[in-house]
Amino acid sequence: MVRVSDLPRRAVTRTAKLASLPLGVAGRATLGLGRRIGGRPAEIVAAELQQRTAQQLFKVLGELKGGAMKLGQALSVFEAALPEEVAGPYRSALTKLQDAAPPMPARTVHKALADNLGGDWRSLFEEFSEAPAAAASIGQVHRAVWHDGRTVAVKIQYPGAGDALISDLNQLGHVARFAGALIPGIDVKPLIAELKARVAEELDYQLEAEAQTAHAVEFDGDPDIFVPHVVHQTERVLITEWMDGKPLSQVIDKGSQEERDRAGHMLSRFLFSGPARTGMLHADSHPGNFRLLADGRLGVLDFGTVNRLPEGLPEPIGRAFRLALDGDAESVMQVLRTEGFVKPSIRLDAAEVLDYLLPFLEPADAEEFTFTRAWMREQGARVGDPRNPASALARQLNLPPSYLLIHRVTLSTIGVLCQLGATAPFREELATWLPGFAEEDFEAEEFDFSVEDVEGVEDAEEAEETDGIGNSGGAGGR
């Protein structure tokens, strides 16, 4: 067992761990070449290399916790985009990373509880399980019984988690290209930048408690979604109602088709209804944060990262979706320019942009859509292959900062739906919850906008930059 006291915290040690990843891969590639020369079949050596690469990558990420594990969890939802011949060796390692991490020793747990709840912290509980029930990137969870008889989850932040998180995210740029190579079309650097921007929020249990309480109150009694209520909160300890259920990772691994479809439908509903009902978008949508309850509801955990959207999801998103499905290429282009997805001096053919977008919108163009790994791989390959015209067009699109987190959450949720292989009425959820999408509230607007109006505002070089956010995935390809 790896103890917290053994986990590397000094930046130089953690950097060395991270730097070992590509070097280790290179070493195994050399070994593989030697074995091929020695007569072993190349495909067998390649499969072994893929499996060992995955084992090393996620072993190091898991041991480092902090930002390294946070990145691994973020990447894990895109496993469905991997080519099948590559996905196999990575799949088990990715799944383990979603739910597992080395636990803190009991003495560290006790000290954290004493520091946050007082020296008589045991009097607050009728029972407290010493063994952690779950562990993640910045904290671990223990099952307990609160003094009023309620079964609760006690989330305790790792000592030094903040420093580790910041250190990891600062250093992960060294392996961004290596990690990004796992999934076609994914630019990891903007993902790391976005994770860094939310470090303070991730570590603030008061903000998390406020966000979870807002959701728990709004969804209290809901027939489809369940959010546990907050029981008690301090700076580094968060106590909530306990929630039993089957983790989505288990549904993905061995759930029935009925379970997959139900989980996928409810996940789609939560994605779009959450902002409309609470003014917040749950922004950590990897399978470890969701449970399928025995009564068919979707249980939702971990509100440490949310996107605050007081007006709900932006109406131009729904309007652009509807215009695209109606085949109105020019109006779609006008929305994209107005919202900043196409910078003023960038010249693009509206019909080509529509052709690029429509495959991503297939789930919104059918009464029911079956999300599959093959479909997601196809989308990733379209954008990730530089020989494909869609890839060149994607690089000319811009992702405005205000849309970055919405884009990542939507894409990662779709990744989970594809892992589930779920069939869901995606369009129905869009029509119900996404402003501007439903036919009854959709009205095409007239735009008085032309490229000539803004010529000279930005020079060509500035227009092609993306303000540190990155445009390699554009509006739907990262």
Same domain, 207 and 300: no
Q: What average pLDDT does this structure show over 389-408?
A: 87
Q: Please identify, among 241, 270, 300, the residue that sits at the C-terminal boundary of a domain.
A: 241
Same domain, 450 and 462: yes
Quick check: 260 and 251 in contact, CB under 8 A? yes
Tell me the pLDDT tens digit for each residue of 221-258: 999 999 999 999 999 999 999 999 999 989 998 999 99
Q: Could you tell me which residue, 378 or 135, shows the higher pLDDT?
A: 378
Place 7 in a pLDDT band, splitting at 50, 70 and 90.
Answer: very low
CATH number at residue 218: 3.30.200.20
Supply the pLDDT for residue 383: 82
Supply the pLDDT for residue 439: 65
Please state, for a pLDDT cut of 90, what percent of the chain lies above it: 49
Q: Could you tell me which residue, 121 or 169, shows the higher pLDDT?
A: 121
Ranked by mean pLDDT, the top range of 53-67, 159-173, 460-474 is: 159-173
Same domain, 156 and 284: no
Residue 33 pLDDT greater than 70, yes or no: no
Same domain, 156 and 123: yes
Q: What average pLDDT does this structure show over 407-411?
A: 89
Tell me the pLDDT tens digit for each residue of 300-353: 999 998 999 999 999 999 999 999 999 999 999 999 999 999 999 899 999 999
Same domain, 310 and 354: yes
Tell me the pLDDT tens digit for each residue of 145-181: 999 999 999 999 988 777 777 776 666 655 555 555 4
Output the average pLDDT for the chain.
78
Q: Could you tell me which residue, 184 or 458, shows the higher pLDDT?
A: 184
Place 61 in a pLDDT band, splitting at 50, 70 and 90.
Answer: low
Same domain, 115 and 208: yes
Q: Could you tell me which residue, 196 or 229, shows the higher pLDDT?
A: 229
Sign of the CA dihedral running 68, 73, 77, 82: positive
Residue 38 pLDDT greater than 50, yes or no: no
Number of domains composing the chain: 3
Same domain, 332 and 446: yes
Place 135 in a pLDDT band, splitting at 50, 70 and 90.
Answer: confident
Same domain, 324 and 383: yes
Q: Could you tell me which residue, 415 or 196, shows the higher pLDDT?
A: 415
Same domain, 190 and 303: no
**Could you tell me the pTM of the whole model?**
0.76
Q: What average pLDDT does this structure show over 381-395?
A: 83
Please state, for a pLDDT cut of 70, what percent of the chain lies above it: 63
Same domain, 227 and 292: no
Q: What average pLDDT does this structure show over 43-72?
A: 56
Same domain, 98 and 47: yes
Supply the pLDDT for residue 177: 55
Domain containing residue 123: 106-161+202-241
Residue 284 pLDDT greater than 60, yes or no: yes
Supply the pLDDT for residue 68: 58
Supply the pLDDT for residue 58: 56
Quick check: 430 and 437 in contact, CB under 8 A? yes
Provide the residue type at 37 as one letter.
I
Residue 43 pLDDT greater than 70, yes or no: no
Q: Could you tell me which residue, 29 or 333, shows the higher pLDDT?
A: 333
Supply the pLDDT for residue 312: 95
Supply the pLDDT for residue 349: 96
Q: What average pLDDT does this structure show over 397-409?
A: 88
Place 52 in a pLDDT band, splitting at 50, 70 and 90.
Answer: low
Same domain, 225 and 192: no
Supply the pLDDT for residue 72: 62
Q: Please identify, among 241, 265, 295, the residue that sits at the C-terminal boundary of a domain.
A: 241
